[in-house]
Amino acid sequence: ALAAAQLWVELEPDNLEANNTLAILLIRQGRNVQALPHFALLARAGEEVNFPTLLNDFEQLGPRQQAELTQGVESLAQEMPDNEQVLLTLAMIQAEGGQFDAALASLHQVFELQPDQNQAALLEAKILMAQGAPEPFARLQRMLAANPEDTQVRLQYARMLTATDLAAAQEQFEVLSAQSPRNGDLLLSLALLSRESGDTAAAKDYLRQLLALEQHVDEAHYYLGRLAEEDGERQSAIYEYKQVDEGREFIAANGRLGLILINSGELDEYHAHFEHLRSKYPDRTEQLYGVEADLLARENEVTAALRVINTALEKMPQSTALRYARAMLVEQQGDLVLLESDLRRIIREEPDNATAMNALGYTLANRTQRYEEAHQLISQALALEPDEPAILDSMGWVLYRMNRNEEALDYLTRAYAAFPDPEVAAHLGEVLWVSGDTGKAIQVWQGALLKAPDNVVLVETLQRLEVTGLQLPPLEGPPGTAGGDAAH
């Protein structure tokens, strides 16, 4: 289709339909810069052009393409100062780049041309919110007062309010729901807002309305289950979770149900439930075995979890996911022989599996003195996924174990900047500490403790290094786990 449109424009360069078709096809292929001249031709001919579509997937464009598109739109805005769509597109680019004052100036030009331009008003509100302005929604409120039936503006306004004022957001969603009483999306939003604000009765009412309308049925049962669980109504929660069919909430619902059974000591019923699910949904067999084992492991039932995984691997020996799960479980039991066997089998079968390489390399660095071998594995993983924080952390940790602290700090700093996880903080802090930068180490650790005061790896690291001056909770879990688990 693209080649045909290009030929059409070559044969009829002034044909408006041809230029419009070509521009749309170019945008669909991510060639937004090339589409701009064709949109410009249409605008010069007096056609209405939706210039903001040029920004589709703008963040996916490379820096050079973004710069070229920005320059092109800026030039067009100077050429066509009365084209509100061009000015709006320029404002959107400026806002995306954090140039809020410039974006507001461009929006002011739009409002001079059309005071109630919806997209411009919504963008203005978002910018004013980001700037902390006292009344960011003033224009939207005036527009809705003048046109209360504008559901699109009201919906966007309501969504923005959820970040700052739940009560006001709920009020707007109630208006929308009154205007469209059979709209399940609005009822679900109202249910979630009611739950968040603590109005359990209202939340349940909205969810039951969804069931009556037969809309968002799985979500309704799932959240009714959550509400019942929060109210201590165990049997009601189990009932609701069992009503959730295969869909977006399926795993979450059965995970909650599973935890109820584990915490009640009903392990036989727990296993029977997952066996029933596997018979009912055979395509999810592998996933359901993984969930069944993972829930047990999270509740410190590692031996029971391992039995589940072993049974699963007998039936599905080619499952990489289940084999990896077993490797992570046996690591907790100190069985490094089986861990290495499982991970090396995965690597043989999937030579580009960076996750398995990283897990094995990290374990060797953390639990053995095979540092060169660990470094080689982690290097291979990093070559495959150079920006993955877990692998950057592993590289930093193995370099530290090899007494290459300066290099280790570089990797750990990058890992922590990308993913401020407590285990990464434990590693970064330790290398800073032994390198003599104790003040920075304490700063990193204290920040991590505020977010995860009970993290075993973090607390054990601080106790092992005999760090004082920080509030530490009592340590739980097996000793000698300073490096965390292989999965990070």
- Where are the chain's structural domains? 357-488
Q: 357-488 adopts what CATH topology?
A: 1.25.40
Which residue, chain included where needed, has tokens 């393409």? Answer: 65
Q: Which pLDDT does position 209 carry in this prediction?
A: 97
Instruction: Give residue 63's pLDDT band: very low, low, confident or very high (50, 70, 90).
Output: confident
What single-letter amino acid sits at 175? Answer: V
Alpha-helical runs (H) found in 264-353: 267-280, 285-298, 302-315, 320-332, 336-349
Q: Is the pLDDT of residue 361 over 90?
A: yes
283-286 long-range contacts, Cβ below 8 Å, gap at least 24?
284/246, 285/315, 285/316, 286/312, 286/316, 286/319, 286/321, 286/322
Cα 330 to Cα 164: distance, rounded to the nearest angstrom: 46
Which residues make Cβ contacts (< 8 Å) with residue 486, sequence separation at least 6?
327, 328, 331, 339, 359, 360, 362, 363, 366
- The full length of the chain comes to 488
Under a CB-based contact definition with an 8 Å cutoff, are residues 431 and 400 in contact? yes
Cα 345 to Cα 459: distance, rounded to the nearest angstrom: 34
Q: Which pLDDT does position 2 carry in this prediction?
A: 86
What single-letter amino acid sits at 336? Answer: L
Q: Which pLDDT does position 470 carry in this prediction?
A: 76
Nearest to 209 by CA among 251, 178, 247: 178
Q: What is the pLDDT of residues 454-477, one digit of tens each?
A: 899 999 999 999 998 776 555 444
Rounded to two decimals, the pTM is 0.77
Q: What is the pLDDT of residues 163-178, one digit of tens each?
A: 999 999 999 999 999 9
Instruction: Give residue 478's pLDDT band: very low, low, confident or very high (50, 70, 90).
Output: very low
Q: Is 232 helix (H, G, I), strand (E, B) or coil?
A: coil
Under a CB-based contact definition with an 8 Å cutoff, are residues 331 and 485 in contact? yes
Q: Determine what percent of the chain is predicted with pLDDT higher than 70.
A: 96
Find the mean pLDDT for residues 390-411: 97
Q: Is the pLDDT of residue 305 over 80?
A: yes
Q: Which pLDDT does position 483 carry in this prediction?
A: 39
Tokens of 183: 């709209």
Under a CB-based contact definition with an 8 Å cutoff, are residues 194 and 212 in contact? no
Q: Which pLDDT does position 476 carry in this prediction?
A: 45
Q: Is the pLDDT of residue 354 over 80?
A: yes
Under a CB-based contact definition with an 8 Å cutoff, are residues 5 and 21 in contact? yes
Please measure the distance between the N-terminal and C-terminal CA atoms of the chain and give it in whole angstroms.
Answer: 47
**∠153-157-160 over CA atoms, to 5°?**
145
Q: Which pLDDT does position 480 carry in this prediction?
A: 37
Find the mean pLDDT for residues 310-333: 97
Q: Is the pLDDT of residue 482 over 60?
A: no
Q: What is the pLDDT of residues 75-131, one digit of tens each?
A: 999 999 999 999 999 999 999 999 999 999 999 999 999 998 999 999 999 999 999
Instruction: Give residue 488's pLDDT band: very low, low, confident or very high (50, 70, 90).
Output: low
Integer CA distances (angstroms), 373 to 340, 359, 363, 378, 398, in order? 12, 13, 11, 9, 10
> What secondary structure letter does DSSP report for 473?
P
10 Å CB burial of residue 374 (0-12, 13-18, 19+) is buried
Cα 193 to Cα 16: distance, rounded to the nearest angstrom: 47
Alpha-helical runs (H) found in 59-117: 63-79, 84-96, 100-113
Q: What is the pLDDT of residues 438-451, one digit of tens each?
A: 999 999 999 999 99
Question: Which backbone phi and psi does 239 adopt, to 5 degrees?
Answer: -60, -50
What single-letter amino acid sits at 370? Answer: R
Cα 66 to Cα 407: distance, rounded to the nearest angstrom: 34
Q: Which pLDDT does position 320 carry in this prediction?
A: 97
Quickly count helices (H) and strands (E) in the chain.
27, 0
Q: What is the pLDDT of residues 228-280, one digit of tens each?
A: 999 999 999 999 999 999 989 999 999 999 999 999 999 999 999 999 999 99
